[in-house]
Structure 1
Amino acid sequence: MRWPSRRMLPTVVGLSLATTIAADLAIVAAGPFHAPTVRLPGGRYVAAADSTSYRVAALQKTITPHLLIASPQTLPADAVAKVREAKGVKAVEVVDAARALVGGKRVGVLGVEPSTFRAYTPEASAKSDALWNNIAGGDVAISFTMGQDGGIPLASQTQIGGQAHQTSVRVGAYATMGIDQVDAVVSHYTAQTIGMPSDNALLVSAPHADLAKLRGQLAKLLPKGTKMATLESRFDGPTVPGGTAGAPGRVMTADQVNTVIRAAESKIGMPYVWGGESDREGGYDCSGLVQYAFAQAGIRMPRTADIQAFTGWRLPYSQAQPGDLLTWKNDPTFNGVSHIAIYIGNNKMVVARHTGTRIQIQDVYLSNFWGVIRVNPQLASTKA
């Protein structure tokens, strides 16, 4: 039984969202009668070790979501039915969506039906029965970067809710869902206990549709005030060896490179703050530092590392030049870029590492390294 719509957390997930389900490695493989887990280096777990009596439906297939639709309140059933029937739409998943405080950080949160929503996530997350059993049992799953870099231990209790009221929920898994700015997922039931709006968002899969036209078509079917975002795959961009990133020559000027580096270096000594993107928040995370530094040179950058990694040409480290971005894939639950830094030359970089550290200059390391990104300012602006 679904709870009636409530609006204690009325802020709908924002529009600058992106997604992918292109991972190729299942992290957890659970049997039919229990929820085993796989250890990560250092004894951490992807899914919390405690078993649960909840059993979600088995994964049948994965589905690529192409649009996120979100409203401040419950979407009418007849409007949802019309979206399902729209030409080009192949699948629709109804979810709860809001921005809420999780461990003191305001992030995008989805309330979902675990048995069906799992199909819309990256393959490593989708295949983990343990993950979805834990969510069905009342746990919250947070993104790998929020947990590891943000310093929220797996299987710990964390507070989730709004400014006025928060509930203690166990962190049942580190699992990236592939939707940018969505860093926490709970069950529909848990979403309602913390006051999230009910059934106010849709994930739409339309693999062969002209998404611009489909957005216009769906806008006519949905209530006024409903927002819509195209979910961009991080694996169809130009950042592949030998690829192009717009017209030739569209790179940063020498003055822009110097400004970016000076701006990044001006923050040396400030704390790493997960989600931080300004002095007002007391510090910066890795992509927040990149966004800030490039803004000082007049270049608009996307907010997260996995989108920043698709703002130019991807090159090998041997071709790195000052002002380039350095990228790593450290997240075992998601085949996307999860860490980023600014190269300053001589095998050095300016980087915000993780909770408990400060912004610093350090030697470049190549473990899990994905590539050098030579930024195209025009392309960066379009992705921002």
Structure 2
Amino acid sequence: MADPVVEDRPPVSEQFAPDAPSGADPRVGATPSATASPEVADPEDLRRDAYVAPFREARSIEYFVVAPDTLPTDAVDAVREIGDVEHVLTVDAARVLVDDQATSVLGVDPSTFRNHAPKPSAESDDVWQGVAEGRIALSKDVGTERELEVGGDITVTGGRGEVPLEVWTHATSGIAGIDALISRETAAALGVPEGNALVVSAPDADLWELYEELGAVLGEEVSVQLVTDAPEPSVSGDSVPSSVIEQVIANAESQLGVPYVWGGTTPGVGFDCSGLLQWAFREAGVSIPRVTHDQWNAGERIEFDDLRRGDLLFWRSDPTAPDYISHVAIYLGDGMMLEAPRTGLDVRVTPVRTAKYAGAVRVQT
């Protein structure tokens, strides 16, 4: 069997952020992210022999739940009965190898999951028809950063061996850390655990109360990941002291010139954007989450005019998921920032970009 997607995450109190406005500097007038229907390989290759229901309505995802093994039916039913929970979708989750690199994948029913996907993908019949017929949809980050081109062939390896798949599209799932979507039939062929994960839609719920209720129903072995932007804090902490922030920045600066590597977390070898910052903070004794979206929910939201050294800067730059936080850097002051930008570029210091800028966060302890 493939390993389930269960990532170490900080306490949920560290994933929530205060209800403070954020956004680009109004003096600059940053442009919002453009939306685009994801490109697919060749629609003429579709057999159209697998039924996919049309897009019906947009459904939010507040939490993504994943367990090591199949979730019991009574536990899933109990989640559905929680007040304010509107929809619960069962999916299959695991870590597999995509061309020998570990990648988190979901096995989904395209007819139902599409309603929870970011709008540009949700409305594309071709995207979901391709997944239903056995292709793989890679996230925009994985597809571009690892140069796995649309229409190309890759090898996916799970607990039951290798399966050759065509890259059908680059379309972000909207769930942080999930970088590939396949059909549940393909997931079964790979040995992905069946029904070990849930997509929970509860747009009117109090997120903190819902987290507590999910934990009570599902137990300690189940990972509960916040997917939506948190509108308010559960617990307010103290900002990281300036002396510690200076150590964080010194750690990050020590990696200038190190290559960007997708998924990279190794000093002197390679980092991705969020991996670099997690390492820099950890070396200074501060724990922050691993993935960019969770870092966005890890502190106090800060207005552009109130930025100070050590604040984290975020962007929404994925046209297939315009609401998705997709990049992070650390502010150095005087309009400069440090980042691990993308494949082909090294860790560098550069002026702050306001195009597609989402906001800033001051990390709390």
Q: Could you tell me how far 1:81 is from its partner in structure 2? A: 4.1
Among 342, 354, 357, which residue is 1:369 paired with? 357
> What does residue 104 of structure 1 align with?
100
Structure 1 length normalisation: TM-score?
0.77
Give me the whole-angstrom Cα distance separating, in 1, the residues matched to 2:281 and 2:151: 37
Among 129, 140, 156, which residue is 1:160 paired with? 156
Give me the whole-angstrom Cα distance separating, in 2, the residues matched to 1:204 and 1:374: 26
Q: Could you tell me how far 1:275 is from its partner in structure 2? A: 0.8
Per-residue Cα deviation, 1:331-382 (whole angstroms, up to 9, x for no partner): 01221221111222343322211122221223333332233x251322xxxx
Q: Could you tell me how far 1:79 is from its partner in structure 2? A: 4.5
> What does residue 91 of structure 1 align with?
87
Question: Structure 1 residues 84 and 375 mapped into 2: Cα distance closer, same or farther (>3 Å)?
Answer: closer
Question: Structure 1 residues 63 and 325 mapped into 2: Cα distance closer, same or farther (>3 Å)?
Answer: same
Among 147, 162, 165, which residue is 1:151 paired with? 147
Give me the whole-angstrom Cα distance separating, in 2, the residues matched to 1:103 and 1:227: 28
> What does residue 288 of structure 2 align with?
301
Q: Supply the AA of the counterpart residue of 2:91.
A: V
Per-residue Cα deviation, 1:198-229 (whole angstroms, up to 9, x for no partner): 22222233445531452255237xxxx75140
Among 47, 69, 75, which residue is 1:53 paired with? 47
Give me the whole-angstrom Cα distance separating, in 2, the residues matched to 1:83 and 1:337: 27
Q: Could you tell me how far 1:15 is from its partner in structure 2? A: 5.9
SS at match of 1:182: coil
> What does residue 314 of structure 2 align with?
327
SS at match of 2:43: coil
| Count of residue pairs the alignment pairs up | 337
> What does residue 27 of structure 1 align with?
36
Question: Structure 1 residues 274 and 164 mapped into 2: Cα distance closer, same or farther (>3 Å)?
Answer: farther
> What does residue 288 of structure 1 align with?
275
- Whether the 8 Å CA contact 1:246–1:376 is kept in 2: the answer is no
Give me the whole-angstrom Cα distance separating, in 1, the residues matched to 2:127 and 2:153: 16
> What does residue 382 of structure 1 align with?
none
Question: Structure 1 residues 73 and 362 mapped into 2: Cα distance closer, same or farther (>3 Å)?
Answer: same
Q: Supply the AA of the counterpart residue of 2:41.
A: A
Among 239, 259, 264, which residue is 2:247 paired with? 259
SS at match of 2:179: strand
- Whether the 8 Å CA contact 1:149–1:353 is kept in 2: the answer is no
Question: Structure 1 residues 228 and 260 mapped into 2: Cα distance closer, same or farther (>3 Å)?
Answer: closer
Give me the whole-angstrom Cα distance separating, in 2, the residues matched to 1:260 and 1:358: 18
**Structure 1 vs Structure 2 CA RMSD:** 3.0
Give me the whole-angstrom Cα distance separating, in 2, the residues matched to 1:60 and 1:164: 35
1:14 matched to 2:7? The reply is yes
Q: Could you tell me how far 1:151 is from its partner in structure 2? A: 2.9
- Of stretches 187-196 and 362-371 in structure 1, the one that deviates more from structure 2 is 362-371
The unaligned stretches of length 5 or more in structure 1 are 1-7, 29-44, 239-244, 379-384
1:121 matched to 2:109? The reply is no
Where does 1:68-87 land on structure 2 (aligned, <5 Å)? 68-85=64-81
- Which of structures 1 and 2 has the larger relative contact order (alpha carbons within 8 angstroms, sep 6+)? 2
Give me the whole-angstrom Cα distance separating, in 1, the residues matched to 2:310 and 2:77: 49
Q: Could you tell me how far 1:97 is from its partner in structure 2? A: 0.9
> What does residue 340 of structure 1 align with?
328
Where does 1:215-230 land on structure 2 (aligned, <5 Å)? 215-219=214-218, 226-230=221-225
- Whether the 8 Å CA contact 1:57–1:115 is kept in 2: the answer is yes
- Whether the 8 Å CA contact 2:89–2:198 is kept in 1: the answer is yes
Question: Structure 1 residues 364 and 180 mapped into 2: Cα distance closer, same or farther (>3 Å)?
Answer: same
Q: Supply the AA of the counterpart residue of 1:321.
A: R
- Whether the 8 Å CA contact 1:15–1:227 is kept in 2: the answer is no
SS at match of 1:361: strand
Question: Structure 1 residues 278 and 151 mapped into 2: Cα distance closer, same or farther (>3 Å)?
Answer: same
Q: Supply the AA of the counterpart residue of 1:314.
A: I
Among 258, 266, 270, which residue is 1:278 paired with? 266
- Whether the 8 Å CA contact 1:257–1:322 is kept in 2: the answer is yes
- Whether the 8 Å CA contact 1:289–1:352 is kept in 2: the answer is yes
Q: Supply the AA of the counterpart residue of 2:40.
A: A
Question: Structure 1 residues 205 and 163 mapped into 2: Cα distance closer, same or farther (>3 Å)?
Answer: closer
Question: Structure 1 residues 24 and 61 mapped into 2: Cα distance closer, same or farther (>3 Å)?
Answer: farther
> What does residue 228 of structure 2 align with?
233
Where does 1:305-320 land on structure 2 (aligned, <5 Å)? 305-310=292-297, 311-316=299-304, 319-320=306-307
Q: Could you tell me how far 1:139 is from its partner in structure 2? A: 1.4
Give me the whole-angstrom Cα distance separating, in 2, the residues matched to 1:71 and 1:313: 31
> What does residue 214 of structure 1 align with?
213
Q: Could you tell me how far 1:266 is from its partner in structure 2? A: 0.8
Among 257, 262, 278, which residue is 1:269 paired with? 257
Give me the whole-angstrom Cα distance separating, in 2, the residues matched to 1:153 and 1:217: 43
Q: Could you tell me how far 1:278 is from its partner in structure 2? A: 2.3
- Whether the 8 Å CA contact 1:26–1:127 is kept in 2: the answer is no
- Whether the 8 Å CA contact 1:75–1:200 is kept in 2: the answer is yes
> What does residue 4 of structure 1 align with?
none
Question: Structure 1 residues 187 and 269 mapped into 2: Cα distance closer, same or farther (>3 Å)?
Answer: same
Q: Could you tell me how far 1:147 is from its partner in structure 2? A: 1.8
